[in-house]
Structure 1
Amino acid sequence: MQARKEAIMNQVRSELALSNAQELINKINEKCFTKCVTKPSTSLSGSEETCLSRCLDRYMEAFNIVSKTYTSRLSRERLE
């Protein structure tokens, strides 16, 4: 019974992580597109591609910093 409960909890955690990742990707797409593509057309200009790339990099870097800090804090709290 305990093994089944753990399996269900792991499945819920995985689904939550996937949902959070999808939400992050959607938010990044929305924010970066709005910021970088001022005149939508059939293709991106070089400056738009550069802007989108940098915007994505900044969002991912910030996300990674926040995630590491949060994980570290949770680990410290568990040890106390």
Structure 2
Amino acid sequence: MSDSFDTFSSGLDTTKGADKELQEFLMVEKQKAQLNAQIHEFNDFCWEKCVDKPSNRLDSRTETCLTNCVDRFIDVSLLITNRFAQLLQKSGGM
């Protein structure tokens, strides 16, 4: 009886390890998807804001506008993320 229980419990340990690996993999993939979605969002926003007419080269005004737009977009995203983290910490969510 003891041998079959030991085999069963070691099987559970393997399953738990696999579940943890799967959870970590899914978390990394979710973060990648969120990053890609955010990049797509600021590409769309900054393109509409800065590019008057597409051509094979960016003039300096358009390039500066795109750089500033993306920088501000990232700054705001980080500000919001940090603010939510602070609110979670204050509410005891972490």
Q: TM-score range by the shorter chain?
A: 0.7 to 0.9
Mean Cα displacement is larger for which, 70-79 or 56-65? 70-79
Q: Can you list the C-alpha shifts for 1:45-77, whole angstroms capped at 9, x where unaligned?
A: 100000000000000001111222223334443
The 5 Å alignment of 1:1-80 reads 1-76=15-90, 77-79=92-94
Identity rate of aligned residues, in percent? 24
Give the structure with higher Rg (CA): 2
CA RMSD across the alignment: 1.4
CA drift at 1:2 = 1.8
SS of corresponding position for 2:78: helix
Rate the CA distance shift 1:47–1:22 in 2: closer, same or farther, 3 A: same
Once residues 84 and 31 of structure 2 are traced to their aligned partners in structure 1, the CA distance between those partners, rounded to angstroms, is 14
Structure 2 runs not aligned, ≥5 long: 1-14
Higher RCO, 1 or 2 (CA under 8 Å, sep at least 6)?
A: 1
TM-score (ref. length: structure 2): 0.75
Q: How many residues are treated as equivalent by the alignment?
A: 79
CA distance in 1 between counterparts of 2:59 and 2:78 reads 29
Separation in 2, partners of 1:41, 1:71: 42
